Chain A
Amino acid sequence: MSRPELQAPPEIYYGDVESKKYTNNTRVQQIQADMTYRALELLNLPEDEPQFLLDIGCGSGLSGEILDEAGYTWVGVDIAPSMLAEEVALEREVEGDLFLQDIGQGFGFRPGSFDGAISISVLQWLLNAETSHPTSSPPHRLTRFFTTLHSALRNPARAVFQFYPTSDDQVQLITSIAQKAGFGGGVVVDYPNSKRARKVYLCLFVGDGGAQVPRGLEGD
């Protein structure tokens, strides 16, 4: 099967049937949960301080459940209405507020709203142009996304994205636009030599100038 983001835009690909398949598949759930825990680890939030987080592409609420468990207050955005629909996300009774939003159109959150942001398996969707309109080009959408996200975060803060790039050029495009939007940081690759376990995270910093990009995990 070809990669989902090449088949159709997410709001169409994740129609009702695919949404249910996606959230009911326990192996997918386990991988999603593991990546969420790893993203939280990379977020490196101060311990024992309540935090207000943004979950980008919160989908069915899998990551939201983990944020609830960890005691974080959060807001989630997703473009696929079915992923947010009552029978999926609301049924999970997650605590966070949910928004139907195309992240490529940017956010309207006031400056300094969030202590951090996480995003699991979403960023690659911004690499596909859906129409020929200039605001649909991947660079335009990435710029709008990273600029408004940078402003919505506090200083210092981090944003961590697990994503599935298909080429180094894609990684280059994403990181260069994030840098232009004001972010520091870079890419973390876990298990780089394992075909099965390899995972790519973009770990971005607002402020926090001296911070090093965390090291990826080694082994298989």
Chain B
Amino acid sequence: MVRLITHNLLACHAKNCNTNNFPLQLKDVQVEQREAEFNPDFLRGFMPRIEWKALVEAAKQVGDTSLPLEQPEMLDDEFLKQLHHVLLEIHIDEGALVCPNCGHVYPIMNGIPNMLLAENEIG
């Protein structure tokens, strides 16, 4: 139930982990495709919030190479449909998110990432 849209917004929040803490690396993930309603207006509005390189990389890691390497300026329907699929229809069910900086592992079980920190990791 974690989609790449949310992965693209999530950085590590452990204490003193402020640089190189995004994107969280996907580890041993199992994914599932689930259809979602296509909403081009939402996608257009959301585009400026996307870290494009991180999204392309995450999509590649879950086996989807449909996105262009550079964020396109022309948002035609064909592109928006690919973006819709990558952002909202690929669900990560199991695996882990690993911080590239401090190495904290956020496990994902039943589609729910565990973001809890130990007492000494709380900022």
Contact = CB atoms under 8 A, between A and B. Distances in A.
Interface of A: 49-50, 52, 73, 75, 77, 79, 84-86, 90, 95, 97-102, 105-110, 112-113, 131, 133, 135-136, 144, 148
Contacts of B80: none
A49 B111 contact: no
Contacts of A105: 13, 115-117, 122-123
B77 interface: no
Nearest to B11: A108
Given A105-B13, A113-B9, A98 B115 contact: no
A72 to B, nearest CB: 9
Contact of B112 (A49, A95, A100, A106): A100
A14 to B, nearest CB: 15
Contacts of B5: 73, 97
A49 B45 contact: yes
A170 to B, nearest CB: 22
A110 B119 contact: no
Interface of B: 1-3, 5-6, 9-13, 21-22, 36, 39, 41-42, 45-46, 49, 51, 88, 110-117, 119, 122-123
25 contacts: A49-B45, A50-B45, A52-B42, A52-B49, A73-B42, A79-B116, A84-B112, A90-B110, A95-B36, A97-B3, A97-B5, A99-B115, A100-B114, A100-B115, A105-B13, A105-B115, A105-B123, A107-B13, A108-B13, A109-B11, A110-B10, A110-B22, A136-B119, A144-B122, A148-B13
Contacts of B114: 100
A77 B3 CA distance: 14
B119 A99 contact: no
Nearest to A71: B39
CB-based closest 9 A-B pairs: A108-B13, A50-B42, A101-B115, A135-B122, A113-B9, A97-B6, A100-B114, A108-B11, A98-B112
Contacts of A73: 5, 39, 42, 88
A77 B112 CA distance: 10
A77 B13 CA distance: 14
Given A108-B12, A110-B9, A99 B112 contact: yes
- Most A-side CB within 10 Å, residue of B39, B46, B115: B115
Given A75-B6, A100-B112, A112 B11 contact: no
Given A73-B42, A105-B117, A109-B9, 20 more contacts: A50-B39, A52-B42, A75-B9, A79-B116, A90-B111, A95-B36, A97-B6, A98-B111, A98-B112, A99-B112, A100-B116, A101-B115, A105-B116, A105-B122, A106-B123, A109-B10, A110-B9, A110-B22, A135-B122, A148-B13
A148 B11 CA distance: 12
A90 B1 contact: yes
